[in-house]
Amino acid sequence: MSNTVNCVVMNEPGEALAAAPYPGELGQRILENVSKPGWMRWLAHQTMLINENRLTPIDPKHRAFLEQEMENFFFGDGSATPEGYRPPEA
């Protein structure tokens, strides 16, 4: 049976990640508090942030922005969407 965590994103127990998805203390907090479905939600949100803000993850300023948004998404008041963003129609 897999490990479970009380996911801060999904607000319910869920399957734990196999390893820390990010280095350092933030990655360890994510490992201990975010389920696989919660992490997938972040990846989708991060992709939207990268695309809408035309970020390059190789740029240190852009990486710092994404790390702060990750912190906000999981442990803060949530990560904001870019101004004027409209989700794609289904």
More confident call, 77 vs 66? 66
Q: Measure the CA–CA gap between 4 and 1, rounded to whole angstroms.
A: 9
pLDDT at 67: 96
82 part of a folded domain: no
**pTM score:** 0.88
Encoded tokens for 21: 């998805």
DSSP state of 1: -
pLDDT by residue (tens digit) across 37-59? 999 999 999 999 999 999 998 99
The model's confidence at residue 1, banded by pLDDT at 50, 70 and 90, is: very low
83 part of a folded domain: no
Q: Which positions ≥6 away from 65 have C-beta within 8 Å?
A: 53, 55
Average per-residue pLDDT for the chain? 92
Q: What is the CATH number of the domain that holds 34?
A: 1.10.3880.10
The H or E element containing residue 64 is helix 60-75
Contact predicate 64/70, CB 8 Å: no
Nearest to 53 by CA among 40, 38, 41, 69: 69
Range of the domain at 55: 4-75
58 part of a folded domain: yes
Q: Measure the CA–CA gap between 26 and 84, rounded to whole angstroms.
A: 29
pLDDT by residue (tens digit) across 56-73? 989 999 999 999 999 999
90 part of a folded domain: no
Number of domains forming the structure of the chain = 1
